[in-house]
Amino acid sequence: MEEPEFFQLYVEGERVVDADVRLSYNHRGMEKRCETLTYDQIPLLLARICGICSASHPMACANALEDLCGIEAPPRAQYLRTIICELERIHSHLLWVGLAGHFIGYNTVFMWAWRYREPVLDLFERFTGNRNHYENFKLGGVRRDIPQEAIPEILQAVDDVEKPTLMLTRAVLDDPVLGVRLKGIGILSEDDARRYCVTGPTARGSNLPIDVRRDEPYAAYGWVDWNVVSQPQCDVFAKAVVRLLETLESIKIIRQCLQKMEPGEIDNEPRSIPEGEGIGHAEAPRGETFHYVRSDGTNYPLRYKARAPTFVNLPSFKASVIGAELADAMLIVAAMDPCYSCTERMAVVDRGRNLEGLLTTKDLLQLSHEKTARLLKHHGIRPPQWES
Amino acid sequence: MDREHLVRQIDNDLGAKLADLAKRGPKRVYLTVEPQHSLEVNRYLYERGGRLATATGVDCPDWIEVCYHYCFDALNVVVTVKARAYKPACELDAVARVFPGAAFIEREIQDLLGVKFIGHPDPRRLILADDWPEGVYPLRRDYCHETHTNTGRAISPDHGRARVLSALRRG
């Protein structure tokens, strides 16, 4: 798995004319490590791939292992898995909205979005004992149940999350500044989205309505009523819209799961692992996570492959950033919601003026903030005062 | 079009080029191909609407198996092409020539397992550090952590501990 990335942008004046990306400064060798772990230990390691998708990778892993063994988890476990995956999507998307606000110098959005994310993390704590790294997924089911009598209380907490999320969604979608700043930039055409094989909101914002939750229903997604959100505009704003509306769908899914869930078994562990291979995928907040496992019938896999969504979404940066303004470059990367801890800096080469140098995140933020301020002045808009 | 139709079509159009076509359950299809047919079979699946989710390289005794996983989202089926890159040359035609979505994963497999993808548009290193020695592949089964070399003899990453324990537990 990879974390920090290095982008090299070639510009002529303010226009980006070419881009290159280098990654893997922080390779952790998890696939190799998996070959030394038992099937019970693997989901625990895979949760550490990412601190935000820490339910998605174990979910895909459980799907892959269950495909290998030809078993299914009991219904209650499927509902519990769905609830955890959707709570994860809500907190991840709220985190993204906050960051996007910060990138364009709109820190009010940042503050509110992160504030509304907190109660979701509290819910996680009640569900699984942890705010992140839930450790609840295993081959054949889940590790912890929730008491049936706690459900009304949790439903109340879900309502409390929904109201501010709805308010924030409406405010962001109607905001003139965000509209002006995000519409029409970072276009990833439907054709390019297909050629680069992108997934998740990056694909759905480019008019490709693909979603593993609907296309290959796992957990309880086939048993509840919800919609796949996609947008035809292909720009950064479309991706923001997809994420915000998806958050509301997630709340819908969680509520139905809590209501439909019936008491019962939560684990259906197989006696042994057969020889063979298995494929499992799951829809993480950033797109599809894809796992492949090959077994020789022992307690340890011969090969374990885990592919995170950013690995396929990131190369599409080349298609969406060329032609953009340098001040938008950071937003365009952010629109993919790439999953890495620290994009340290970007290198900028101005071909026209023979300039070459490294810009830090701070410089790029400054450029982006200046552009927002310019647009505000040009359109005569004063940033609205937000209320709780 | 449904799943059965797709499988029949694949069998009809590519039958002669496939060493094996296996269905494992309704949602998984595995095709095995010799290296000379890999590019054509991959191109066929991409053009029929397959989305390359990723590829997995597996180190087998006599070849590196590169498994290209294509999701047919509308049909709810994953078709995997297992292309064999025979040792010692380990050569395969680069699928990245057909569409850029295959570029990163082929570079990764080239770094970690030493498969040479012929005609790759950008064969630079992706995963390994710039000062990593040439010709040493860390995901191969003969890679030794102490010496940082490929020994030519399969060793498990934990020197066989996992396999011995597993055998003991099974009796």
User: Residues B122, B148: one domain?
Assistant: no
Report yes or no on B136 lying in a domain.
no
Asked whether residue B114 falls in the same domain as residue B152, the answer is: no
Confidence check: pLDDT of A287 > 70: yes
Asked whether residue B160 is domain-assigned, the answer is: yes
Q: Tell me the residue range of the domain where B26 lies.
A: 3-127
Yes or no, beta carbons of A307 and B74 under 8 Å apart:
no
In a domain, B134, yes or no: no
Determine the pLDDT at residue A366.
85
Mean pLDDT of B93-102: 96
Determine, for residues A298 and B54 on separate chains, whether the beta-carbon distance falls below 8 Å: no
pLDDT at A34 over 80: yes
Name the residue with tokens 């800096």: A345
**Would you call A312 an interface residue with chain B, using a CB distance cutoff of 8 Å?**
yes
Superfamily of domain covering A6-379: Cytochrome-c3 Hydrogenase, chain B (1.10.645.10)
Q: Enumerate residues 6+ apart whose C-beta is below 8 A from B113.
A: B57, B59, B64, B90, B137, B139, B140
Inter-chain contact A196–B71, Cβ cutoff 8 Å? no
SS3 letters across A50-78 = CCCCCCHHHHHHHHHHHHHHCCCCCHHHH
Residue A70 contacts B where some CB pair is shorter than 8 Å: yes
pLDDT at B160: 66
With 90 as the cut, is the pLDDT of residue A311 above it? no
Q: Quote the Cα angle for B143-B149-B154, to 5°.
A: 30
Can you give the pLDDT at residue A343?
36
Q: Is B148 helix (H, G, I), strand (E, B) or coil?
A: coil
User: Do B101 and B165 share a domain, yes or no?
Assistant: no
Q: Is B30 within 8 Å of A277 when comparing Cβ atoms?
A: yes
Q: CA-nearest residue of chain B to A304? A: B56
Predicted confidence (pLDDT) at residue A130 exceeds the cutoff of 50: yes
Say yes or no to pLDDT of B32 above 50: yes
Q: Is residue B133 part of a domain?
A: no
Same domain, B24 and B80: yes
| Cα nearest neighbour of B29 on chain A | A279
pLDDT band per the 50, 70, 90 thresholds, residue A75: very high
Residue contact A299–B162, C-beta within 8 A:
yes
What are the extents of the domains in chain A? Answer: 6-379
One DSSP character per residue, B5-52 reads: HHHHHHHHHHGGGEEEEEE-STTEEEEEE-HHHHHHHHHHHHHTT-EE
Question: Quick one: DSSP state of residue A305?
Answer: E
So what's the pLDDT on residue A2? 37
B58, B69, B99 member nearest A279 (Cβ)? B69
Answer yes or no: do B166 and A300 touch at CB < 8 A. yes
- A33 vs B: CB within 8 A: yes
Q: Which residues of A89-108 are buried (b: 16+ CB within 10 A; e: fewer)?
A: bbbbbbbbbbebbbbbbbee
B112, B39: one domain: yes
Say whether pLDDT at B92 is over 90: yes
Report CB contact under 8 Å: B24, A277.
Answer: yes
pLDDT of residue A354: 63
* Cβ pair A360, A344 in contact under 8 A: yes
Which pLDDT belongs to residue A192?
A: 95
Residue A382: pLDDT over 60? yes
Q: pLDDT, tens digit, for every residue of A353-371?
A: 666 777 777 787 888 888 8
Q: Does A274 touch chain B (CB under 8 A)?
A: no
Is residue A347 scored above 80 in pLDDT?
Answer: no
Chain B interface residues (partner A, CB cutoff 8 A): 24-25, 27-28, 30, 51-54, 56, 58-59, 67, 69, 71, 73-74, 76, 78, 80, 99-105, 126-128, 138-139, 156-158, 161-163, 165-167, 169
Q: What is the pLDDT of residues B66-83, one digit of tens each?
A: 999 999 999 999 999 999
Q: Do A32 and B67 touch (CB under 8 A)?
A: no
Determine the pLDDT at residue A349: 61
Flag if A298 and B166 touch (Cβ within 8 Å): yes
Whether B49 and B89 map to the same domain: the answer is yes
Q: Count residue pairs from A and B with Cβ separation < 8 A.
A: 103
Between chains, do B53 and A300 touch, taking CB under 8 Å as contact? no
| pLDDT at residue A161, rounded to an integer | 85
SS3 (DSSP) at B84: strand
Q: Are residues B157 and B122 in the same domain?
A: no
At A341 the pLDDT is 38
Residue of B nearest to A70 (CA): B25
pLDDT score for A342: 36
- pLDDT over 70 for what percent of chain A? 93
Segment A256-269 shows an average pLDDT of 93
Q: What is the pLDDT of residue A351?
A: 62
In chain B, residues with a C-beta closer than 8 Å to the C-beta of A212 are 73
B68 located within any domain = yes
**B56, B100, B103: residue with CB nearest A305:** B56
Please tell me whether residues B104 and B147 are part of one structural domain.
no
pLDDT recorded at residue B108? 93
Q: What is the average pLDDT across B30-57?
A: 96
| Structure confidence at residue A276 (pLDDT) | 94
Whether the predicted pLDDT of A274 surpasses 60: yes
Q: Lowest-pLDDT range, A34-43, A239-248, B63-72, B145-154? A: B145-154
Minimal Cα–Cα distance from B44 to chain A, Å? 14
Which segment of A120-129, A217-226, A230-239, B87-96 scores lowest on mean pLDDT? A120-129
pTM for the model:
0.90
The confidence score (pLDDT) of residue A353 equals 64
A311–B contact, CB cutoff 8 A: yes
Interface predicted TM-score (ipTM): 0.91
CB within 8 Å: A216 and B76 = yes
Give me the pLDDT at residue B130, please: 85
Shared domain check, B94 and B64? yes
Nearest 5°: the CA angle A51, A54, A57 is 130
Distance from CA of B100 to the nearest CA of A (A): 6
Number of domains, chain B = 2
Closest Cα in chain A to B111 = A24
Establish if B92 belongs to a structural domain: yes
Most confident of A43-57, A77-91, A117-131, A311-325: A77-91
**Stretch B119-130: mean pLDDT, rounded?**
91
**B167 and B108, same domain (yes or no):** no
Percent share of chain A, pLDDT over 90: 47
Q: Based on the fold, state whether residues B38 and B120 are members of the same structural domain.
A: yes
Q: Find the mean pLDDT for residues A280-290.
A: 94
pLDDT of A89: 94
Average pLDDT, chain A: 87
Given a contact cutoff of 8 angstroms between Cβ atoms, the answer to whether B155 and B149 are in contact is no
Residues B122 and B163 in one domain: no
Least confidently predicted of A106-115, A155-164, B32-41, B153-162 = B153-162
